[in-house]
Structure 1
């Protein structure tokens, strides 16, 4: 069964995102000295211990290899990065970190642990609890927690270190407004530390305008609605996640979740990728070749994938020049909105495009 179908209703009902194209990438031997963005192992053995290092120093705790995915104990990340790790027993939720990269692990059972970053669904695989300890997939740590690593399949060793990121500060600002008898809350990013103040102002203006649009949309939606009831109160929530913050580029996705009655809420998202040098907002075509035969190749890839995954509603005529996307290490991720081309339960269709393959 497609995992989006399996988990879609439960995940979307909580207002988090669906997406992702799988759990693993290419395994690389550490002797090649290449940094890997995701890890897969040739071994199929379940729950096999692996050794962990941080900056070349051996750690006492062990990681885990399970069905081709590498997992790291949450306590390791707490210790090496000095992040807070908390557990809310009432709601069965772990939180790791703070600020804009706060990771939450929602525990349904030991093998169903949904991972979100600021409300953004972090994809598959989810977390695991083994012998009372929470394990996080390295893939999630790499994509959202600022960690990179080298993996040696032969030695079963993962050597981690912190990513080199742009020397900027990303602060979360929170704005609240009373709408009907509920409080709309939007958390949005504010950037500081750029040498080019004009570029910094330009970026912050875009992100602030997005926040204002969330409130405008919420107020517009409720214009004809009665006050929300106590059993199923209305909700309006905005958040953001940082996908990429390196090499003079910053890629952020903002989310807007609203529930105004009915069977389920609705999530919208917008992504912004900026050049920190001048504050310019970049397009997908700035990172991949979307001209000539490549454009047709991309259109075919997207259409075939949506049909293959199921839930395709029709209407796709091609990837537009202003398509929604975000950056990650060595790739651009193209995506479409809920209901745009696929049924709601299939979430946000995503297509990871390796930059070196789309020159």
Structure 2
């Protein structure tokens, strides 16, 4: 099922009762036939900005898990609950984490963008958030002390900008449109701000125009209306650089819908849309040679590989993350639909000489 469409199925599939005492105590989840977790877990001591917390995290299957109540009580994030959709929401704006809890588990999205590689868990009636998710998308970092099994959590220093979600929503007899796109403000350079916002808005408008044209020629044999949805996720917002991915989904009545993903990485100094070459080529002129060889190996290892990969395009699809760069390919570009959008992560120390700062020119 496509990421951007899962919200509807998740809402219908939710089948448990959630309770909380006015959010003054622990957020609790009461599941019908709730089975006590049998996976071995090790307690993890937690600190917030150096101060030890009374609540503890868990180490489970190699992942450090943080109680949802720590995010509310110590980190100060607003927590709400929607009983209609059985969804907890923590935080606000483009980093709001939404957790739809059911007997099947917890479906997780940030700002309506679904994440499958991070598993929020309901363990014995308590919700736990993977620290890796907090590190990658919520703006937090951690220092691990192996001798005391303690994780010291602190806030990252983000770019001093505001990111607001704008929405175009409409419905006709032929199609339903729900298009979310970001708008930035607070940049020192107002011209750069306008350039960035124009790129992102025009990207949305082009999708909307093409969708309207397609819907106007809708096949009358299709019973339901066409569906067009756009969501985005900010993946990096530090060091004078803003990186995000935008997913555009369309369902026109075939066997399944389809998604096109676009990565945008901007310099906040001048609004320039950065390429992989801008970040890598000066310090490593041969980075593409390494990537082409490694990507060919990884793509061929995919069970759904269709063949055809020889080398990256001149301007490959990518986005920046807290851990490096993510290079991705579109559905059916080299793999079948079941693979989704194949994405390959590379830390900067694998792409560049050790100690190189890829953002030096943009700070």
Question: What TM-score, normalized by structure 1, do the two folds share?
Answer: 0.82
Query: Is the 2:173–2:225 Cα contact (8 Å) retained in structure 1?
Result: no
- Secondary structure at 1:304 match in 2: helix
Q: 1:108 Cα deviation (Å)?
A: 4.3
Give the deviation of 1:92 after TM superposition. 3.7
**Which piece of structure 1 moves more, 218-227 or 309-318?**
218-227
The Cα offsets for residues 55-98 of structure 1, whole Å up to 9 and x where unpaired, read as 11112211110011111112211233433323344434332222
In the other structure, the counterpart of 1:277 is 269
Distance in 2 (alpha carbons) for counterparts of 1:121 and 1:338: 17
Q: 5+ residue gaps in structure 1? A: 1-8, 17-44
CA contact (8 A) 1:287 1:332 kept: no
Q: CA deviation at 1:181?
A: 4.3
Q: Structure 1 residues 302, 109: closer, same or farther in 2, change over 3 A?
A: farther
Where do 5+ consecutive residues of structure 2 fail to align?
9-38, 353-363
Give yes or no for contact 1:172–1:190 (8 Å, CA) kept in 2: yes
User: C-alpha separation between the residues in 2 aligned to 1:122 and 1:215?
Assistant: 24
In the TM superposition, residue 106 of structure 1 has moved relative to its aligned partner by 3.2
Q: 1:55 aligns with which of 49, 59, 64?
A: 49
Question: What is the aligned length?
Answer: 321
Per the alignment, in what secondary structure is the counterpart of residue 298 of structure 1?
helix
Give the CA deviation at 1:113: 2.5
Could you tell me how far 1:297 is from its partner in structure 2?
1.9
Change (3 A) 1:309 1:226: closer
Give the drift of 1:130.
1.1
Alpha-carbon distance in 1 for matches of 2:309, 2:301: 14
Deviations 1:129-151 (A, max 9, x none): 01211111111111111111111
Instruction: Assess if the C-alpha contact under 8 Å between 2:64 and 2:131 holds in 1.
Output: yes
Which SS does the other structure have where 2:74 is aligned?
Answer: helix
1:317 and 2:303 aligned: no
Provide the TM-score with structure 2 as the length reference.
0.81
Distance 1:153 1:217 in 2: 54
Q: 1:208 aligns with which of 201, 212, 225?
A: 201
Kept after mapping to 2: 8 A contact 1:337/1:349: yes
The aligned residue for residue 242 of structure 1 is 234
CA contact (8 A) 1:15 1:257 kept: no
Q: Which of 122, 135, 147 in structure 2 is aligned with 1:142?
A: 135
The alignment status of 1:329 with 2:315, answered yes or no, reads no
Q: Residue 163 of structure 2 corresponds to which residue in structure 1?
A: 170
Aligned ranges 1:152-231 → 2 under 5 Å:
152-226=145-219
